[in-house]
Amino acid sequence: MSDAPLAVVGGRLGHISVLTATIVLTCLGLLLASGLQVLDPMVRHDDFAALLAEPSWYYTKTLYEGRWLNYLWHFRGVVTPSWLSYLAYQFFWAVFAACLANLALSNKAELWHRVALALLVTLVPSALLISLWFNTLMPGMGLVALYAWISTRVTESTARRLLVVFVPLTLLTYTTYPLFLLALCLSRADTQRSLRDLGSLMTVFIASFALGMLVIYTLNSFEHGIFGVPMAPWRNATPAHDLASVLENAKQIGTFLYESGRVLGFGYFPMTLAHLALMATAVVVCGRRDPLRVGYILCGISAGLGLIFLQTVKSGISLPVRVIGFAWAMYAVLLVLLVLQLCEKGGLRERLSRNVLIFFVMAYAAGTFQQSLIYGAWQKETRAMAASIGSGHEPVYVTGTYKSLLNADRSGIQNPRGLRLRLAYLTGRSVITCEVHPEQCGDLPPEMLADRPPGEAEVHRLDGKIVVRLSKQVVSARH
C-alpha cells in the first residue's frame, strides 16, 4: 500500500506542527468512524444527570465512587447540547492519543505512524463503550488532554512533578484516568531509562494516587460522615474476609480478562489471538534492543491491572471492560514500536508490518462505525416516538416495558430511565414509566394498560395526557 495519500496530506499540513497535524487527523478519523453518533450521540441512563445539569441525580456517586469534580460539573447551570458535549469529549480524547503518539515515537517516525498509533488508541472498543458517558466524563477527559498537551511542552522532570496535581484531580473524575497520565510518562521516547528512574517515577505516581484517595476520603468524611469509599448496594459486593473468599473473588479476574479479550477483538477470537501474538513478538523483538523501554511499558500495564485486580479481589466485583483502555494504549505503543523496528531494514518485513498496522486501524474504524449504526437505530426510533408525542405540557405515560423494543436490547439499554429520560430530553415533557411507577398509572383506561405484540410504540392522545403503549413482552436480539 502506497504512502502517497498520507504524504500529500502531510505536505499540506507542513506549515503546522507535527503534533497539531496529528491531532487534526486523529480528530477527523475518530469523528468519521463515529458516524451518526456525532449528530445524535447515544447517552446512557445515568449520564443524563450531567447532560441535563441535575446535581441531585448524581450526588450518591460522590460517596460510592468519589467523583467529586464530576459532581461540581453538574452545577454549571447550563444544559449543553449533547452533540456539543460529545464533540468536546472526543476532541479531548483525540488530543490525549495524539500527544501520546508524539511523546512515544522518536523523530524517525513519520506522520502516518503517529496518526495510526493515535487512531488505534481512540478506536478501541473499550473507548467506544465508555464514550457513552461523555457528558459526565468530559471534564476528566479535558484534564487528561491538558496534562498530555502540557507534557509535550515541558521537560520530563516537570511533567512528572505535575503528576502530584493532575493525578488527584483526574482521580476525582474517573478511577482509571490517572493511569493514562502514567502511560504518558512511561512511554516517552526521550527518557533516560534506568531501574532507579523507573522506581522514582512509580513512587511519584503511587504517592500522587494515594494523595487523591486521601482527598476523596476526606471529602466523603466531611459530607457523608464516612472516611472511605463504600460499595454501592446495587453492586452486590462480596467483600473478602478470609482466604476462601479471596480465592473465590479472584475468579472474577479470569472473567474480566476473558471479557476484555473478547471485546477488544470486537468479539472475533482470531483478532484477540493476533493481538496476543503481536504483543509477545513486540516484547521479544523490541526488548532485545531496548529492554528497559519495554520494561517501562509493561510496568505501567502491570501496575494498572494490579489496581483493578486488587479491587476485584477486595470487593468481589468484576469491573467493566471499559476500564482497560489504559492498557490498550500502552500495547498500541509497543505495536507501533515493533513496526518501526521491522521497517528499518525494508523489504518484506517492512511491507508486512506496515500493512498489519494499517489493517488494524481500518478494521477498528469499521468496527466503531458499525457499532455507531446500532446505536443510531435506537436514536432514530426514540426520535420517531418524540415526534409522535410532539411538544406541549401534558405528561407522557409509557406502558409496557422498554425491553419489548429490539433496538433497546441491541443498544444495551439497561434501565427504564434510558427511555424515560431520552423522551424527556427530546420532548421537554414529564415522562412517567408505568413499569417503575404503576401507582401513577392507575387512572389510565384499561385498554391503555393491556398488552400488545412487541414491536414499535403506539402513541395515544387522551384528555390531558399522552400514552406511549409498548408491549409487556421481553425480546432479545441474541435469539
Q: Which of 285, 316, 344 is the last residue of a domain?
A: 344
> Same domain, yes or no, for 252 and 106?
yes
> Same domain, yes or no, for 439 and 335?
no
> Same domain, yes or no, for 231 and 317?
yes
Q: In whole angstroms, what is the distance from residue 127 CA to residue 358 CA?
A: 19
Asked whether residue 377 is assigned to any structural domain, the reply reads no
Q: Which of 344, 371, 399 is the last residue of a domain?
A: 344
Q: Tell me the residue range of the domain where 414 lies.
A: 389-469
Asked whether residue 134 is assigned to any structural domain, the reply reads yes
> Same domain, yes or no, for 284 and 401?
no
Asked whether residue 253 is assigned to any structural domain, the reply reads yes
Asked whether residue 317 is assigned to any structural domain, the reply reads yes
- pLDDT attached to residue 9: 54
> Same domain, yes or no, for 175 and 243?
yes
> Same domain, yes or no, for 339 and 395?
no
Q: Per the structure, how many domains does the chain have? A: 2
Asked whether residue 451 is assigned to any structural domain, the reply reads yes
Q: Which of 344, 375, 402 is the last residue of a domain?
A: 344
> Same domain, yes or no, for 331 and 407?
no
Q: In whole angstroms, what is the distance from residue 412 CA to residue 108 CA?
A: 43
> Same domain, yes or no, for 315 and 409?
no
- pLDDT attached to residue 232: 85
- 410, with CB counted inside 10 A (0-12, 13-18, 19+), is middle
> Same domain, yes or no, for 422 and 330?
no
Q: In whole angstroms, what is the distance from residue 397 CA to residue 416 CA?
A: 12
> Same domain, yes or no, for 112 and 247?
yes
- pLDDT attached to residue 1: 45
> Same domain, yes or no, for 207 and 313?
yes
State the 10-residue block means of pLDDT for the chain, 479 residues long.
Answer: 53 72 96 90 92 93 94 91 95 98 90 96 94 95 98 96 98 96 96 96 97 97 94 85 89 92 91 95 95 97 94 88 94 96 85 92 94 89 94 93 92 92 93 94 91 88 93 81
* Structure confidence by residue, pLDDT tens digits, 413-471: 989 999 999 999 999 999 999 999 999 998 999 999 999 888 888 999 998 999 999 99
* Structure confidence by residue, pLDDT tens digits, 96-150: 999 999 999 988 789 999 999 999 999 999 999 999 999 999 999 999 999 999 9
Asked whether residue 368 is assigned to any structural domain, the reply reads no
**Reduced 3-state DSSP string for 214-242:** HHHHHHHHHHHCCCCCCCCHHHCCCCCCC
Asked whether residue 175 is assigned to any structural domain, the reply reads yes
* Buried-state track 102-124, b at ≥16 Cβ within 10 A, e below 16: bbbbeeebbbbbbbbbbbbbbbb
C-alpha dist (Å) from residue 445 to 397, 442, 451: 12, 8, 13
Set of cell numbers at residue 479: 435469539
Asked whether residue 51 is assigned to any structural domain, the reply reads yes
pTM greater than 0.75 (yes/no): yes
3-state secondary structure of 398: strand
> Same domain, yes or no, for 288 and 420?
no
